[in-house]
Amino acid sequence: HPEYYVVSAIWGAGGGGLALGRPSGNPCPEVVAQRRSDDDGIPVIFSSSDSDDGVVRLSSDINIEFVPLRPRLCRTTTVWKVDDYDHSAGKWWVITDGIKGNPGADTLTSWFRIEKGGVLGYKFKYCPAVCGTCPALCNEIGRDSDGDMVRLALSTDNGWPFIFKKKESSLKIQQVIRT
| Mean pLDDT for all residues in the chain | 90
Q: Which residues contact 57 (CB under 8 A, 6 or more apart)?
A: 48
The pLDDT of residue 5 is 96
What mean pLDDT comes out for the span 47-60? 82
Angstrom CA distances, 82 to 5, 90, 178, stand at 20, 14, 45
Confidence of residue 55 (pLDDT cuts 50, 70, 90): confident
Using a pLDDT cut of 90, give the percent of the chain over it: 70
- Sorted by where each starts, the structural domains of the chain and their CATH numbers stand as 4-178 (2.80.10.50)
Q: List the one residue out of 128, 124, 146, 149 whose CA is nearest residue 137.
A: 128
